[in-house]
Structure 1
Amino acid sequence: MSLFNQILGAINNPSQEASSGQLAGILSTVQNLSQSANADPSTIQSVLSIVGKYARPALQQKREAEGEQETQSFINQFSGTGANNQAVNLLFNTPQIQQLVEEAEQRTGLNAATIQSLLPMLVPLVLNLLKTGTNNQNPEGSNPVLNSFLDTDGDGDVDIADAMQMASRYLNP
């Protein structure tokens, strides 16, 4: 099941946190970031996908080392639509950040300084997408959206940009 289908399932499940408002907030933040970076929203969505590509193994490692509950707690703490440098630094080490920035620069044409300045906004957005599956009654419990994201086939294709495009169509039919 695609990431967006998992998120859509969470929106339709009253025991999970996801809402249309949460998706709208994420999309609005992407729109604002694209304007401030003087870039097309699809370019920012591409960078968001690259952030997701790097977040997956980092979160998998966190889950293996600290457990599912601590990983969910991390997501609950650092997800959002505001900038958070601490989220970037706790999720990625310096070489990972450098690799991420280089890959995003090559794939999108945005300069490294712009990408680096966007990371404190993009990491919480990725975590916010993953938070949509959080159980309202047990926020530290199992999260099917996060589990789906972490348990994928590892092909390197993170469909966050696809999920954002589908969310946009879902919210603006």
Structure 2
Amino acid sequence: MSLFDTILGAIDNPDLKANSNQLGTIFNTVQQLSQNSNANPETVQSAMAIVGKHVRSSLQERRNTQGEQQAQSIVNQFGGTQPSNQAVQMLFSAPQIQQIVQEVERSTGLNPGTIQSLLPMLVPLVLNFLQSGARKQNSQGSNPVLNNFLDSDGDGDVDLMDAMKMASKYLNP
């Protein structure tokens, strides 16, 4: 099942936090970031997808070494629409941050300073996207969106950008 299908299932499940307002807020934030950084929304979405790939690796490592609850705890603590340098530092070392900046620069053409300033916003947005599958009553319970994201097919391709595009069409038919 694709990440987008899992998100739609979460929206339809009244026990989970997902709702179209949450997705709309994420998209509006991406639009604002695009305007603030003088980049088109597709470029910022591409940057978010690359960041998402690295978030996935970091969360997979946390899940494998510290358990599923630790990965969910990070999503719950840092998922949002406000900038968080702490979220970036929690998930990535300085060399990893440099690698992310270089990868985003190669892929999008954004300058490193812009990318560096976007990271504290993009990481919480990715985590907010994943938070959509958290349970309303027991936020430490199984999160199907996070599980789908972490249990990807291992091809290195994060379905986050595709899921965002499909969710955008879902929100704006």
What interval of TM-score do these two structures reach, taking the shorter chain for normalisation?
over 0.9
For the residues of structure 1 that align with 2:159 and 2:18, how far apart are their CA atoms? 18
For the residues of structure 1 that align with 2:151 and 2:172, how far apart are their CA atoms? 30
- Structure 1 residues not aligned, in runs of 5+: none
The sequence identity of aligned pairs, in percent, is 64
For the residues of structure 1 that align with 2:100 and 2:114, how far apart are their CA atoms? 13
- Give the alignment's Cα RMSD to 1 decimal: 0.7
Which stretches of structure 1, 4 residues or longer, exceed 4 Å deviation after superposition? none
- Structure 2 residues not aligned, in runs of 5+: none
Q: Does 1:86 align with 2:86?
A: yes
Where does residue 125 of structure 2 map in the other structure? 125
* Letter aligned with residue 55 of structure 1: V
Q: Does 1:68 align with 2:65?
A: no
Where does residue 26 of structure 2 map in the other structure? 26
Q: Does 1:48 align with 2:10?
A: no
TM-score by length of 2: 0.98
Where does residue 137 of structure 2 map in the other structure? 137
Superimposed CA distance per residue, residues 51-96 of structure 1 (whole angstroms, 9 cap, x where no aligned partner): 0111111001111121111211111010001100000000011111
* Letter aligned with residue 119 of structure 1: L
For the residues of structure 1 that align with 2:102 and 2:50, how far apart are their CA atoms? 10
Residue 154 of structure 1: how far off its partner (Å)? 1.1
Question: How many residues in Structure 1 have an aligned counterpart in Structure 2?
Answer: 173
For the residues of structure 2 that align with 1:7 and 1:93, how far apart are their CA atoms? 29
Superimposed CA distance per residue, residues 18-42 of structure 1 (whole angstroms, 9 cap, x where no aligned partner): 0000000000000000000000000
Residue 147 of structure 1: how far off its partner (Å)? 0.5
For the residues of structure 1 that align with 2:78 and 2:111, how far apart are their CA atoms? 26
